[in-house]
Amino acid sequence: MSMSHTFPSEDIRSVSQLGNEAAKLLKDVQRSRRPVFLMNKGKAAGVFMDVDEYERLLELLEFHQTILASEAEANRGEVISHEQLEKESKEWIKKATRRKSTRSNGHKRRNGHYKNLDNVK
């Protein structure tokens, strides 16, 4: 669901109007999925918007920030080849698989005996 185009003539309200018509404005915002801009003494004071649209915007912002951070890492040369990624992934999977075979009490069975692995790094 994308936010509809905003029409300033329809989507600007005064703060006093919000106080008097909050329930109606909330229904309008949820129905139209367009934000309402609140003015106080002729100046922008806030935005009244549907919570689903707000959460969607937060997700888009987080995604955008991740892309920017990744681009910055690439520009600094902080990248690895596909082959290196595969190698490191396989090593990580092996380690994770070995950890699963370790008993929950910190012991691993070797030659019919359990060895304490609590202090092993």
The whole model's pTM is what? 0.51
CA pair distance 45, 36, nearest whole angstrom: 11
Mean pLDDT of the chain: 78
Q: Is the pLDDT of residue 107 over 80?
A: no
Secondary structure of the chain as H, E, C letters: CCCCCCCHHHHEEEHHHHHHHHHHHHHHHHHHCCCEEEEECCEEEEEECCHHHHHHHHHHHHHHHHHHHHHHHHHCCCCCCHHHHHHHHHHHHHHHHHHHHCCCCCEEEECCEEEECCCCC
